[in-house]
Amino acid sequence: MRGLDLPTEVLGHLDLAAFSFLQLTGRRPTPEQGRVYNALLITLVEHGITPSALAARLTYAGAPEALQAAVAAGLCGLGSVFVGTTEGAAAMLAEELDGAPDDLDLAEAAARIVAGHRDRGQLVPGLGHPFHKPIDPRTPRLFEIARECGLHGRYVELMQRVGEEAERVSGRALPVNATGAIGALCGELGLPLKAVRGLGVMARAIGLVGHILEESEQPMAVRIWRRVDREASAHLVESSDG
């Protein structure tokens, strides 16, 4: 495994996230990188009933003998809508910072990013959140951990400046949300851009197993579906009455 002997050099020496970091980068993380990476992955585990968690629970209800297929079903929806903004934030920062000179002006870079998105009529990824108002409490905590670990560098700073610039230009509160924070931390950790969606997928797999075990003890999926089905039928009856 990347030059390490699994039984003697990995087992008992690396934690699961550090092992994944090694797989994705070929580098063993420093303890500081490991701490930030663990926090980032835990943030990506799904905590609530997301659409993906609901799909996994519905799948489990139909095939309880195939837990693996229920997790697979939940993962299938982690595409452009639900995982895309983390990827988008990471790519946006990478475009300005990967290989940039040391004296890059971050204020100018932030202005360039915000103006570019405005011109293309796109939302800046990683800002704002429908539920967490006024701020997403995970963001300051992730940045605090990064600071403690000496990993609060240009990616984090640029992400924050992008948020400030977007607020200034739009006149609306647009704090950095957890997807923006994670995108920035991926840059600090030197993770390849292609890996970013992968982080979401692996973290959600862990969360989905938790959801499915909960479903096996306290079923909710079929109850939800029954209500939907009842309403759909009622709607059909109304429609055909009309």
* Residues in 51-70 at the binding interface with a copy of itself, rule: CB under 8 A: 51-52, 54-56, 58-70
The token duo for 136 is: 């997403």
Of residues 140-159, those binding a copy of itself (CB under 8 A):
140-142, 144-145, 148
Of 28, 117, 129, 138, the one binding a copy of itself by CB under 8 A = 138
Query: How many positions of this chain bind a copy of itself (CB under 8 A)?
Result: 91
Is residue 225 near a copy of itself by the rule CB under 8 A?
yes
Rounded to a whole number of angstroms, the minimum distance from the CB of residue 208 to a copy of itself is: 8
Minimum Å gap between C-beta 175 and a copy of itself is: 14
| SS3 track for the chain | CCCCCHHHHHCCCCCHHHHHHHHHHCCCCCHHHHHHHHHHHHHHCCCCCCHHHHHHHHHHHHCCCCHHHHHHHHHHCCCCCCCHHHHHHHHHHHHHHCCCCCCCCHHHHHHHHHHHHHHCCCCCCCECCCCCCCCCCHHHHHHHHHHHCCCCCHHHHHHHHHHHHHHHHHCCCCCECHHHHHHHHHHHCCCCCCHHHHHHHHHHHHHHHHHHHHHHHCCCHHHHHHHHHHHHHHHHHHHHHC
Specify the stretch interacting with a copy of itself by CB under 8 A; choose among 3-11, 102-110, 115-123, 156-164.
3-11
Q: How far is the CB of 207 from a copy of itself (least distance, A)?
A: 7
Q: Kindly state the smallest distance separating residue 204's Cβ from a copy of itself, in Å.
A: 8
Contact string 178-207 vs a copy of itself (x = CB under 8 A) = --------------x-xx-xxxxxxx-xxx
12-41: contacts with a copy of itself (CB under 8 A): 12, 14-17, 19-20, 23-24, 35, 38-39, 41
Residues of this chain, 69-98, that bind a copy of itself according to CB under 8 A = 69-83
Residues between 104 and 133 that touch a copy of itself (CB under 8 A): none
CB of 81 to a copy of itself, least distance (A): 5
| Dist. CA 187–CA 199, nearest whole Å | 13
Q: With respect to a copy of itself, which residue has the nearer C-beta, 74 or 88?
A: 74
Query: Minimum distance from CB of 238 to a copy of itself (Å)?
Result: 15
Q: How remote is the C-alpha of 232 from its chain's centroid?
A: 33
- Which residues have a Cβ under 8 Å from the Cβ of 45 and sit 6 or more positions away? 203, 204, 206, 207, 210
CB of 169 to a copy of itself, least distance (A): 28
